[in-house]
Amino acid sequence: MKRMLLISLLITMFCLTGIVNAINLDEFTGKTLDKMWTYRDPLKKGTYKLDGGKLLLDLKAGADMYIKGTDGGVCFLMDPPDLANFSVEMLLNVATMAGDKQAPACHAGPLFFNEALWAYSAWGPYNAGQDIRLEDCVGGSYRWRNETQIAVDVAKVAIDKDLYLKITKTGNKLEFFAKGNVGDQWVSGGIDEKLGPNYTKGNYKVGIFAKSWGGSVDTSFTFEYFDIPEIPKAVDSHGKLATTWSTIKN
């Protein structure tokens, strides 16, 4: 009898583990942004709402985030976990009110951001679906694709309605990934070691960015989930996500 009970308990734990692992940190349910987020919009270029399990962002033209002193981008930021190695992952939909193609002169996706040093790594689809790329900055020094040498071309991952994006931090190394479907293998755009030393405990945030620059138009983005898989998660008795928030805050 005891053996049977033990087997039943192990099976139950295994099943529950599968459920927990399938939960994302934020699936944007409800009507208000979760308290883990800080919305940063210094020039009031964005408006957002939660609807149907999605975070919808309308972004005005000219919402640029560039070198120090050019601070018009929109960010959703949170504290990273107290871990040397972790990843951030999200699902982005680039479809706009004008159609299914990304608008010109804009960039959006996951972000690492040290505001005090004005150091950031911005990864995502770029300029009307030209490619998926890393652009980054420290103070007054900005790097485009030809300098970071980190990108995924559309021949490998299409930029259409759904685009999965991931940044993995391993010590001071950041690796950047993309894929087009949930069941696909992640495609690496490359590894960067220059910006990593700027992201140390207590001095940076992670999250989502969206920006636009000269030649841009008013556009929109849809974010369907954001996750840090290494953070423990559980479901409460009401079916709500109960994140172990101390993992992030401590």
The span from the CA of 124 to the CA of 111, in Å, is 9
Domain presence at residue 7: no
Per the listing, tokens 């841009």 go with: 216
- Phi, psi angle pair for 174, to nearest 5°: -115, 130
The span from the CA of 56 to the CA of 18, in Å, is 29
Condensed to tens digits (0 to 9), the pLDDT of residues 178-207 reads 999 999 999 999 999 999 999 999 999 999
Amino acid 101: pLDDT: 85
pLDDT band of 147, cuts 50, 70, 90: very high
For residue 14, pLDDT over 60 is answered with no
Domain presence at residue 8: no
Q: Are 60 and 45 in contact (CB under 8 A)?
A: yes
Amino acid 244: pLDDT: 43
Q: Look up the domain containing 223 and give its range.
A: 25-249
The rounded mean pLDDT for the chain is 87
Domain presence at residue 145: yes
Parallel, antiparallel, or unpaired for β 173-179 and 163-170? antiparallel
Domain presence at residue 214: yes
Condensed to tens digits (0 to 9), the pLDDT of residues 72-101 reads 999 999 999 999 999 999 999 986 655 678
Domains in the chain: how many in total?
1
The span from the CA of 227 to the CA of 229, in Å, is 6
Q: What is the mean pLDDT of residues 215-229?
A: 95
The CATH number linked to 193 is 2.60.120.200
Domain presence at residue 19: no
The span from the CA of 234 to the CA of 52, in Å, is 22
Amino acid 100: pLDDT: 72
Q: Are 41 and 193 in contact (CB under 8 A)?
A: no
Domain presence at residue 225: yes
For residue 226, pLDDT over 60 is answered with yes
